[in-house]
Amino acid sequence: MLSLHTSPRMRRLAAQVLVSAMLFGTVGVVAVERPAAADSVDDAKRRVRQMADQLEAAEAEADRLSEELAIATDDKAQLEIGIVATEAEIAVKQTELGGLQTEMSDLAVEAFVGGGRGGSITGLLAPGGGPNESVQKQSLTEIALNVGFATSDQLDSAITDLAHLTDQLNKQKKQAEDLANNIVGLQEKTDKEISKYTKLKAKAEKELGSALAAERARRAAAAAAAARAQAAALVASRGDGIPNSPGEAAKKVFDPSSIPSTSSRASIAVAAAKSQVGVPYVKFMSKEGVGFDCSGLTTFAWQQAGVSIPHQSRAQFARGPQIPTEYIEPGDLVYFHNPISHVGIYIGGGMMVDAPGVGRTVRYAAVTWDKVVGVTRPG
């Protein structure tokens, strides 16, 4: 029997044993005297539940921030590609504009040399020696029109296009700069949240051990049962064109016959995702047997079925086609958070396979239907 003088470590261990026994339904456990009110079974169970809540919240926030960081980094990379393309367009347009201006100047010289108009060519073309720039442009344009080659429309269009491209480039560079600053802040927040989660998990496992594991297993089983029941209810509600499911799709009336049918490719994608269960989460990665982030897993799964989709959750959602949640079938992609920052692949029965976040692995997980914001059918 434990006495009041038993060490704190022994009292904590005794509480773990009691809670584990109750959670697992163990019989024949020898009664242990409560050393203090704080170490009672009820208090210990309450502490386990609270710790499980904290871990779930920390995991969710770390996952959300990790995916937000991945999306921001990808957006910046795409923007940088756009900047290079815009710069190339500007170079082409500058060459085109330079050619037009040269052609019109040549035509002007030809007209003056040929006696087409009166006046001094030197006075017209020499900088600061004649009319202002706008008058000079007008004069050159009129001469060109008389000769019948380059037109004012061509020149004006080239100048306008160049101005638009320059404005576009400036906006792109500003966006890239803002994204870079945002990424720095997101990286700091993500690292901080991951560190918080890692420390909390280590502390919880050390202090609560198997009792915490049992509570989390119990919750997972309960979530799976609830998700399975709601999936069945969603299927039963099909057919009237007025969705009652959560998420954006529920706001739209649709024609059920317009929903694309599933294909045999979906089963290939599901099998591919299942084959990676246990593979570590790795940010920005989509590599079989090595590591995945959430959109990297869905990209890999559908690649095995011969369908190419972007390696980014929001881009995958935008690619579509989007379908009402109650028409979800195995192989469809299911999205979470607003703005979207997580995706998994549905495997049926209210379950999905996803890559949840840092420090964990690809897993089977119950779909939290009230948090679903959209569903797409890649195949």
Question: Cβ(324)–Cβ(277) under 8 Å?
Answer: no
User: Quick one: CA torsion of 122, 125, 130, 133, rounded to 10 degrees?
Assistant: 180
Residue 28's pLDDT is 40
| Distances from the Cα of 52 to the Cα of 13, 204, 208, angstroms | 18, 9, 10
Does 95 or 289 have the greater pLDDT score? 289
Quick one: DSSP state of residue 30?
Answer: P
The 10s digit of each residue's pLDDT in 126-158 is 444 445 556 555 555 555 445 444 556 677 787
Q: Using CA atoms, how far apart are residues 167 and 147, in angstroms rounded to an integer? A: 34
Angle at which helices 41-113 and 152-236 pack, to 10 degrees?
Answer: 160
| Alpha helices for 114-151 (secondary structure H) | 121-125, 133-147
Which residue in this structure is represented by tokens 């393309």? 85
Q: What are phi and psi of 86, to 5 degrees?
A: -65, -40
> What percent of the chain shows pLDDT beyond 90?
34
Question: Cβ(269)–Cβ(301) under 8 Å?
Answer: yes
Q: Using CA atoms, how far apart are residues 204 and 351, in angstroms rounded to an integer? A: 27
- Give the mean model confidence (pLDDT) for residues 344-360: 93
Residue 332's pLDDT is 97
Kindly indicate the confidence band of residue 325, based on its pLDDT and cuts at 50, 70 and 90. Answer: very high
**Which stretch of 220-229, 243-252, 255-264, 278-287 has the lowest confidence by average pLDDT?**
243-252
- Give the mean model confidence (pLDDT) for residues 323-347: 94
For 238-251, b/e burial (b = at least 16 CB within 10 A) is: eeeeebebbbbbee
3-state SS class at 334: strand
Domains of the chain: 70-191 (1.10.287), 237-376 (3.90.1720.10)
Cα 171–Cα 176–Cα 182 angle in degrees, nearest 5: 125
**Which stretch of 81-85, 94-98, 254-258 has the lowest confidence by average pLDDT?**
254-258
Provide the mean pLDDT of the chain: 79
Q: Using CA atoms, how far apart are residues 55 and 45, in angstroms rounded to an integer? A: 15
- Residue 77 reports pLDDT greater than 50: yes
Own/partner long-range contacts of 96-105 (Cβ < 8 Å, ≥24 apart):
96/158, 97/155, 97/158, 97/159, 97/162, 100/150, 100/154, 100/155, 100/158, 101/155, 103/144, 103/149, 103/150, 104/140, 104/141, 104/143, 104/144, 104/150, 104/155, 105/140
> What percent of the chain shows pLDDT beyond 70?
71
- Residue 258 reports pLDDT greater than 60: yes
What are 88's two structure tokens? 């190339």
What are 374's two structure tokens? 């959209």
C-beta atoms surrounding 37 within 10 Å: 8
